[in-house]
Structure 1
Amino acid sequence: MVPARTAQQDLYAALHGAFRWAVPERFSIAEACCTRWAHETPDAPAVLFESDGGCSAHYSYGQLQRAANRLSNALQRQGVQRGDRVAIVLPQRFETAVAHIAINQLGAVAMPLSMLFGPEALEYRLQDSAAVVALVECAVLDALRSVRGVCPALRHLIVVGDCISSQPGEIGWMAALQAEDARFTAASLSADDPAVLIYTSGTTGPAKGALIPQRALIGNLSGFIASQNWFGFDPFPSLDQGVEPSSLGTRAGEMGGNSSGPWPSKGFQKSHAIFWSPADWAWTGGLMDALLPTLYFGRPIVAYQGRFSPERAFELMAHYGVTHSFLFPTALKAMMKAVPHPRERYALKLEAVMSAGEAVGDAVFAWCEQELGLTVNEMFGQTEINYVVGNCSRLWPARAGSMGRAYPGHRVAVIDDQGKTCPPGVPGDVAVHRRDVHGDPDPVFFLGYWNMPEATAAKFSGNPLDSWCRTGDMATMDEDGYLWYQGRSDDMFKAAGYRIGPSEIENCLVKHAAVANAAVVPKPDAERGALVKAYVVLAPGHTGTAKLVAALQAHVKGRLAPYEYPKEIEFIASLPMTTSGKVQRRVLRLQEEARARVA
């Protein structure tokens, strides 16, 4: 297990200052994540599959490449051309990885869609994107069939699973691949060519399609490698004995590209990492924070097709010897409450855990240190500009409750409504500049919103090629560059004249033994404008009573400002969540507004 670095070993400034991007003109995600490994280490494990039904299989990089070649040929036979959108409605499984490699080496655009989407959500995205083919698992085949009639561009369905595809325009996965050659000549792609179209989770409004270029994967790497405590590599073998600061950025920069190509140089020791995350591969968190970067470094990823549960998560990590993971705060909270002392029950090999999507909070932070034996590296990003802020406990100290600092290669600030940098401690909008501290273009940026040029322009303050990009998330930055999350700008509200950020109150509530999760929203109030209301999901073994309400209110009063305690608490079985694991406070806020209108 890699020990966390102490405050005396803060190498952040040297690493960040020396880091330089190296983005090649020609770059392909398929080549970087599969083809080169299929040539160099064809028998190395790539995908370790297991389902909740008891099925399991291990697939190598050679098998991944051959299956991708067959699928590329099959898609080409069905008329898919460069730039066409191909929907992927599949869970974590081998075929999903195959689909991304196959679509990418065609020069087409992969459009992952969640298995949890109903017909209406599928219809909107398929129509908006004009997807020409969909790769779909049996479990959601009926939903796809129900909307095909209103999606005229959608010509074919390739069906994964044992169900019978007998309708026109449908073909089974195995039949499609068995008819094709295992050789394929991949398209030559530019680093700026589109790779993936991911629709935002819609926490604050209608989903928008963010078009992600090939180079964005490179832009993710400095954050991925840092948040995973260097992902099993040891590029600085003499770190404990001291290291030349100037070498830090140089070696790290090679993770993003070097003279021989955008992959680790021969100087790096081979990583022993095994990765798993419950994050859906249909979302940025699962695709760009888990699947693709793991394959980029030629390591195996566990693909688990089944429902998340805390006990199952620990079982999987112990069985496969998982060393690195992305566990979103909702999952960590559930694991903390269900299995308070996991190392007493499971033989874990965890070396690093990254968390993102919501604020982790110091309760979860402390539990990870005490019970998992590691410092959780909180990360912040969004679909459009992912993996831009976070921690690397191996190279600089994490601070409980902080989102971390800008990762190497990214220039991040907190700005006000006029686009000016806020002083330390003053809340503002987290923003990322199109150019890094050296003035070089940051490769992490999306190309724009699909068919929404006005929304794309509104995302930037000024010239999109040399300006700040606003995230819509509020935070403060301290004098050392650490960011402290305040909430989405639309989640912030005023109560009795005080500006309220929900995350701090939610984190405080979760520290109580009776609380599994919580969401805080404003409740309309004629006298004060709004009052603080908390929706609380109880931990197992607890019952919602008036006595518990008073205890929770006193719990918050004793720890936060008097105006922050929830004046009203409502117990709820589960919080409304997006399919990417984020709390939909907007749903609860609208519910409170609707109740106020009929009161």
Structure 2
Amino acid sequence: MTRSHTDDRRTAAAQDRYQAIHQGFGWKVPKRFNMAHACCGQWAAQTATARRVAIREHVAGQGLGRRFTFAQLQSAANRLSQVLRAQGVRRGDRVAIVMPQRFETAVAYMAVLQMGAVAMPLSMLFGPEALSFRINDSQARVAVCDESTADALKQARPDCPGLQCLIGVGAAGEVADLDYAKACAAQAATFKPVSTLADEPAVLIYTSGTTGNPKGALIPHRALIGNLTGFVCSQNWFGFDPDRPGSQTQAVFWSPADWAWTGGLMDALLPSLYFGRPIVAFNGRFSPEAAFEILQSHGVTHTFLFPTALKAMMKAVPDAKARYRLKLQAIMSAGEAVGDAVFGYCQAQLGVTVNEMFGQTEINYVVGNCARLWPARAGSMGKGYPGHQVAVIDEAGQLCPAGTPGEVAVNRLDVHGQPDPVFFLGYWNNDKATTAKYTGDWCRTGDMAVADEDGYLWYQGRTDDMFKAAGYRIGPGEIENCLVKHVAVANAAVVPKPDAERGAVVKAFVVMSPDCLAQRPTGAGQAAFDDAVRAQLQAHVRGLLAPYEYPKEIEFIDQLPMTTTGKVQRRVLRLQEEAKALATKPGAAA
């Protein structure tokens, strides 16, 4: 562990500055604000910062790739803005960006945003049907893709009559309407940005709910400002670090989070560029080995890693401290509960206390920890970040007492009664869903938590993940965290299995750890081996949690269903169990 890491830990233990920071903070949102200017234009316009590296590309197995300065990013964005204007894109129009982490993806965001148009990020993992729904619903006129997404877009296009132009980056230029490189080369490297209001729409991100079609959350330019307190705190004062001379030019950010999602766009790409720091772009498949390679070869100082990624890294490289020379100053994690096993691993092997964070597309980066300035508690989501008034409320919108489960909600106003800039504008063409999101001034998240006496929130799961078994209310996160502590478990998901007598029983889906799989026999001996491991895991949970929480049934699977943002899709497993129960009912159709 380096001296700076040790100092951070001592600082966190020695003082808790949360109340002073929270009460003393006030928002300063200008009337006019544009994400692209804040993240690139301002740096490219200054001689002292124009040559600062903005994007570093990483090539799997080769290490360091191309590097691009803020001046190069702005020049490329200007050219693409001219191309988009020539295709008829105007202020407020939606432009689909369907690419992985790469320089041209950052260019596309800057180009669209500085035009006053609306960037619509779409995951490279989307199939034709998912793409066509979002393109049609948003009425996007232009889409920018590369070779990884061109085929899916071509398949979707016959169902997208409003999509007028497809711009192809790299090899995709051969099959698209316009070749990105050729079209941009024909345009001037100058462009006059549109002066947007802070309240104008900037990004349209579609979120998947538990039922129905995805909803488009319309994000204004000001939301980036609303994200910043959480980003700075969760990254241990990223961008403001007087205790480490020269650190402002040395900070390097990386996250495997897809830039098409809130976690990659608003929690990684845009805030890193806002503070004039470089971010690493890697579009290869995530693996623990690749993660450690990137962290070490680029000297990454700040990162956002999903709990599932950290779990995989912990299981694959338990002795990371001995094998890698890391420069980490902060790790933010979100999406699922981290749990104390991963929490301890990050401290002991990665040299930092992980800062859990909670947010969602509509109201992002609102709750979390900052180990440098107030104590982080293992397994806790943390507290409301400065500028955000966060509470746990009941169904009627009343505050829940400490220790009582409720729904996490964020008030439209901060603690000083001023508007919180982090809020989304509403769901695209869906006023009913927008209205349903609120109870008075409280915006509901759909996530359950318990607040303790000190104001720390403890995640209990989605409102639709919570369930009752034999009369007890069960939150899957605590059981999953307990299972992952066992050496035989790489990952786990807990759901209710319908039961005629008890309503439901606790069922766990478990992915075995590499060491356990190496010992697992094939053929006749496998069933006995699995039974033995199953009994060990049940005894493990029963010995650490309440008797009613241990999984009555454990099923071993190769991998858990995951979203593209790294969250376990418990709903898929729950519906699977409900379908099985329905099929076995007396009188069920054969």
Aligned to 1:78: 87
Cα distance, 1:593–1:236 mapped onto 2, change above 3 Å = same
**CA deviation map 1:12-48 (0-9, x unaligned):** 0000000000000000001100011001211100000
Cα distance, 1:271–1:431 mapped onto 2, change above 3 Å = farther
| Counterpart code for 1:468 | W
**CA deviation map 1:102-134 (0-9, x unaligned):** 000111000001000111111111111111000
Aligned with residue 333 of structure 1, among 311, 314, 328: 311
Whether contact under 8 Å (1:203, 1:584) holds in the other structure is: no
How far has the Cα of 1:202 moved from its partner? 3.9
When normalised by structure 2's length, the TM-score is 0.94
Aligned with residue 228 of structure 1, among 231, 235, 255: 235
How far has the Cα of 1:231 moved from its partner? 1.4
Q: Does 339-348 or 555-564 show the bigger shift?
A: 339-348
Corresponding position: 1:591 with 2:576: yes
| Counterpart code for 1:367 | Y
Aligned to 1:148: 157
Corresponding position: 1:20 with 2:26: yes
| Counterpart code for 1:122 | L
How far has the Cα of 1:204 moved from its partner? 5.8
SS at match of 2:580: helix
How far has the Cα of 1:162 moved from its partner? 2.0
| Counterpart code for 1:212 | I
How far apart are the structure 2 equivalents of 1:468 and 1:454? 16
How far apart are the structure 1 equivalents of 2:238 and 2:31? 26
How far apart are the structure 2 equivalents of 1:15 and 1:285? 25
How far apart are the structure 2 equivalents of 1:63 and 1:237? 29
How far apart are the structure 1 equivalents of 2:557 and 2:123? 25
Corresponding position: 1:185 with 2:192: yes
Aligned to 2:523: none
| Counterpart code for 1:382 | Q
Cα distance, 1:23–1:45 mapped onto 2, change above 3 Å = same
Aligned to 1:370: 348
How far has the Cα of 1:52 moved from its partner? 2.7
Corresponding position: 1:468 with 2:442: yes
Aligned to 1:421: 399
SS at match of 1:580: coil
In structure 2, the gaps of 5 or more residues are 521-528, 585-590
Identity of aligned residues (%): 67
| Counterpart code for 1:446 | F
**CA deviation map 1:499-528 (0-9, x unaligned):** 000000000000000100000000010010
Please give the residue correspondences for 1:145-544 in structure 2 after superposition, counting only pairs within 5 Å. 145-163=154-172, 165-166=174-175, 170-202=177-209, 206-231=213-238, 233-234=240-241, 270-462=248-440, 467-542=441-516, 543=520
Whether contact under 8 Å (1:88, 1:112) holds in the other structure is: yes
Aligned to 2:109: 100
Whether contact under 8 Å (1:537, 1:574) holds in the other structure is: yes
How far has the Cα of 1:434 moved from its partner? 0.3
SS at match of 1:579: coil
Whether contact under 8 Å (1:415, 1:431) holds in the other structure is: yes
SS at match of 2:478: helix
Aligned to 2:45: 39
Aligned to 1:566: 551
| Counterpart code for 2:492 | A
Cα distance, 1:286–1:229 mapped onto 2, change above 3 Å = same
SS at match of 2:80: helix
SS at match of 1:386: strand
How far has the Cα of 1:172 moved from its partner? 1.0
Whether contact under 8 Å (2:336, 2:567) holds in the other structure is: yes
How far apart are the structure 1 equivalents of 2:120 and 2:61? 27
SS at match of 2:514: coil
How far apart are the structure 2 equivalents of 1:138 and 1:343? 38
How far apart are the structure 2 equivalents of 1:204 and 1:411? 29
Identify the structure with bigger relative contact order (alpha carbons < 8 Å, sequence gap 6+): 1
When normalised by structure 1's length, the TM-score is 0.92
Aligned length: 564
How far has the Cα of 1:180 moved from its partner? 0.5
Corresponding position: 1:578 with 2:563: yes
| Counterpart code for 1:79 | G
How far has the Cα of 1:203 moved from its partner? 5.4
Q: Does 498-507 or 135-144 show the bigger shift?
A: 135-144
Whether contact under 8 Å (1:233, 1:271) holds in the other structure is: no
**CA deviation map 1:139-158 (0-9, x unaligned):** 22121111212111100000
Aligned to 1:256: none
Whether contact under 8 Å (1:416, 1:428) holds in the other structure is: yes
Whether contact under 8 Å (2:496, 2:505) holds in the other structure is: yes
How far apart are the structure 2 equivalents of 1:388 and 1:87? 27
Cα distance, 1:211–1:164 mapped onto 2, change above 3 Å = closer
In structure 1, the gaps of 5 or more residues are 239-267
**CA deviation map 1:377-431 (0-9, x unaligned):** 0000000000000000000000111000100000000000111000000000000
Whether contact under 8 Å (2:94, 2:140) holds in the other structure is: yes
How far has the Cα of 1:305 moved from its partner? 1.5
SS at match of 1:162: helix
